[in-house]
Structure 1
């Protein structure tokens, strides 16, 4: 069980992004979003074209729904279901989290916490010295 963040932080900032090793050994971005009764966690991509919801600036939300930045499909933050746009009829892949005394923990046996932030946060050169003009 990995401690992630607090429920208060997710509600104040709108989302929390972390990277985990998924069930097939690949790195997956996961977003924790506010829900009426606490928080829920979803794989950070639209079911239509794998568009990331959170690209480093937080999840675009509207009236308790995650909004795909590419086509505008809306997914219920609590259930993961979409009933409009290009992704209509699909459901986001969920990641199990638990809340204890206001703290959010990763409890999904298929995911192992890697680091806060997105997959790009630890890849690539550490400086711009690789650029050539």
Structure 2
């Protein structure tokens, strides 16, 4: 179980983005968003065309719903369900969390925490080539 953030921070900042390794060893961006009674976590991808919600500026939200920046589909931030737009009838894949005394922990056995921020925000090598011609 890895400590991620606090409920207060997610509510103050609107969301929390982190990268975790999935069960296949691949990095996956995950987001924690505010809900009425705490927080919930989801894959950082719309179920329609795999569009990222948080592209570096936080998850776009309105009235307790996550907004897909590409087509405007709205997902309930607490349940993950979508009932409009291109993603209607789908549900976001959830991520298991635990909350203890206002602190949020990654509890999902399918993910291992790598770092805060998106996949490209780590300290690894950049995508620019070091080859010289």
Q: Output the TM-score relative to the length of structure 2.
A: 0.93
**How far, CA to CA, are the matches of 1:92 and 1:22 in structure 2?**
16
Q: What corresponds to 1:78 in structure 2?
A: 78
**How far, CA to CA, are the matches of 2:89 and 2:22 in structure 1?**
24
Consecutive unaligned residues in structure 2, runs of 5 or more:
none
How many corresponding residue pairs?
130
CA deviation string 1:67-111 (max 9, x = no partner) = 000000000000000000000000000000010000000000110
Local SS of the residue matching 1:32: strand
**How far, CA to CA, are the matches of 1:93 and 1:74 in structure 2?**
15
Q: What corresponds to 2:21 in structure 1?
A: 21
Q: What corresponds to 1:34 in structure 2?
A: 34
**How far, CA to CA, are the matches of 1:26 and 1:61 in structure 2?**
27
Q: What corresponds to 1:113 in structure 2?
A: 113
Q: Which runs of 4+ in 1 moved over 2 A?
A: 122-126
Q: What corresponds to 2:7 in structure 1?
A: 7
Instruction: Return the offset for 1:129.
Output: 9.4
**How far, CA to CA, are the matches of 1:103 and 1:55 in structure 2?**
24
**Alpha carbon RMSD of aligned pairs, Å?**
1.7
Instruction: Return the offset for 1:24.
Output: 2.1
Q: Output the TM-score relative to the length of structure 1.
A: 0.93
Q: What corresponds to 2:94 in structure 1?
A: 94
